[in-house]
Structure 1
Amino acid sequence: MTEQTYQAGSLSSDCRFVAKTGRLAAGGLLLAGAAWVARAVWEVRLALAGEPASGPPDQGGGEHRPLNSLENSYHLVTSLGGGAVVLCALLFLSWLARVRDNARALSGEEPKYAGIWLYLGWIVPLVNLWFPRGIVADAFRRTAPGRRLPVSVDVWWVLWVIGMLSGVGLLYEDSTDEIITRAYTEVWPLLASDAAVVGAAVAGALAVRAVTAVQTERMRATERASAVPTGAPPAA
């Protein structure tokens, strides 16, 4: 589909929809960032409180001691944070699918990455180190050929990868009780990872806003051009 095949009514609708999904995706990212700030606060509280005389929650050999109130509240914070991340992922993927489809329509060219990578690109090892950023960058470049990719896109992705590879970020493998133990004994790596995730969330929200704004601008320009009657002289 090329610009010329766009209908004015469809353009108006798509323009409003991508702006709406962009706002929701940016909000979801900031919500996830706030959840990770809360995690960091609780990890500092755990570090300051110090490990109880009874030892870590996971006693080894399949034995777990009863959690104290601070440890229980950390479990609650991480559960709420997990919910925020799921919501963020759904909103971000909805936005990403929309800008990808719009970029294809505006450019008349097929995207660089097949649609399945919108989802698998986040979880397939090695591929998840660059495919998601590539999908965002491809949508931007097809929307605005020749324009420089927003710096926020690269900042978002670098911080995301740092948080992911740190082992305690969004895709950590440790259980919550193991994270609690680490907060008691080595809180600084946890906080560094949290900072990377929060930074990625903020940069991601800025990237979403930047890409959405460029695409909205292009779609509105196309709509204005399509509204000019054929043969009419250009506006002064």
Structure 2
Amino acid sequence: MASPRPVPFQPVPPPPVLPLGARLRSPAGLGLAAAILLGLVLAADLFACFADQMEAEVAHDLLGGVDAELSRRANRADGLYGTAGIMQGVTMVATVVVYLCWLWRARLNAEVFEPYGHRMKRGWAIGSWFVPIGNLWLPRRVVLDVWTASVPPGARVRNTPVNAWWTLWIISLLAGRAAAQQYDAADTAAEVGDAARLMLFSDALDAVAAILAIVVVVHLTRMQRRRLLVPPGAAPAFG
């Protein structure tokens, strides 16, 4: 009878070394704050859509001549248009600060879930948003990597919410810049109306993008909380 063939030695690979400073922490609080502020961005966008529509209507009416009533409407429309811009700026700045704090925490968690699943270093989670031209696609790459790393094991990765949010937001951003330049260069009521309608398109897209951004924040936060609360194997150590 032949003796059993020896099994070749197969060394057990060491556990992956986590990146320095990476530890599991719940993103729920920051996620809730980011979602609320994105809701304020949505409200500001809807108000801006109303102001854009009024500006476009007044510009159209000015083509037939100016009277006292129309002059008052024009002043009111200009005031609402300017107020909408201020509201959008304030809500955007506040949202960016909280959103980046949330994304940083989500990125740290994602490094624990999947240490080798990120195409960019940790600092790019924030720095990518401030790179000229590059900020049109680099932040999406960061968010996609965090999203993929946070999907529960065995679940199907669906990137549609991230891609839809990013696509609409970039189109809105580019259209808004074009509308602002067109508005500043406008010399006639017709040109003002064209700029206002383009801005209406931009603000409407931004409103939809804000809704999708809320979906991304809420869903990504839930995925990470699920992995924090019910992890495979040993329970995680919260920091």
Equivalent-residue separation in structure 1 for 2:84 and 2:200 (angstroms):
15
The reply on whether 1:49 has 2:58 as its aligned counterpart is: yes
C-alpha contact 2:183 2:192 (8 A) present in aligned 1: no
Equivalent-residue separation in structure 1 for 2:157 and 2:148 (angstroms):
8
Distance 1:206 1:178, change over 3 A: farther
Tell me, which stretches of 5 or more residues in structure 1 are unaligned? 55-66, 229-236
The reply on whether 1:101 has 2:119 as its aligned counterpart is: no
CA shift at 1:74, angstroms?
2.1
**Partner residue in 2 for 1:226:** 234
Equivalent-residue separation in structure 1 for 2:47 and 2:185 (angstroms):
18
What is the aligned residue count? 204
CA shift at 1:185, angstroms?
3.6
Amino acid at match of 1:123: F
Q: Deviations over 1:174-228 (max 9, x none)?
A: 3976689655244432222112111111001001111111111111122x84259
Equivalent-residue separation in structure 1 for 2:46 and 2:183 (angstroms):
16
Match of 2:149 among 139, 142, 151: 142
When structure 1 is superposed on structure 2, of 110-119 and 154-163 the one drifting more is 110-119
Q: Deviations over 1:15-53 (max 9, x none)?
A: 2xx011111111222211211111110111112222656
Equivalent-residue separation in structure 1 for 2:111 and 2:78 (angstroms):
49
Tell me, which stretches of 5 or more residues in structure 2 are unaligned? 1-14, 67-73
Equivalent-residue separation in structure 1 for 2:29 and 2:171 (angstroms):
29
C-alpha contact 1:32 1:84 (8 A) present in aligned 2: yes
Match of 1:128 among 127, 130, 135: 135
CA shift at 1:131, angstroms?
1.2
Equivalent-residue separation in structure 1 for 2:204 and 2:99 (angstroms):
20
Distance 1:178 1:85, change over 3 A: farther
Equivalent-residue separation in structure 1 for 2:192 and 2:50 (angstroms):
11
Match of 1:34 among 35, 40, 43: 43
Q: Alpha carbon RMSD of aligned pairs, Å?
A: 3.2
The reply on whether 1:191 has 2:197 as its aligned counterpart is: no
Distance 1:197 1:138, change over 3 A: same
Instruction: Give the 3-state SS of the residue equivalent to 2:158 in structure 1.
Output: coil
**Partner residue in 1 for 2:87:** 80
Larger radius of gyration: 2
Amino acid at match of 2:102: W
Q: Deviations over 1:110-139 (max 9, x none)?
A: 742223322332232342222111111111
Distance 1:3 1:221, change over 3 A: farther
Equivalent-residue separation in structure 2 for 1:23 and 1:175 (angstroms):
37
Equivalent-residue separation in structure 2 for 1:226 and 1:123 (angstroms):
38
Report % sequence identity.
27
Equivalent-residue separation in structure 1 for 2:121 and 2:90 (angstroms):
28
Relative to the length of structure 2, the TM-score reads 0.72
Distance 1:41 1:209, change over 3 A: same
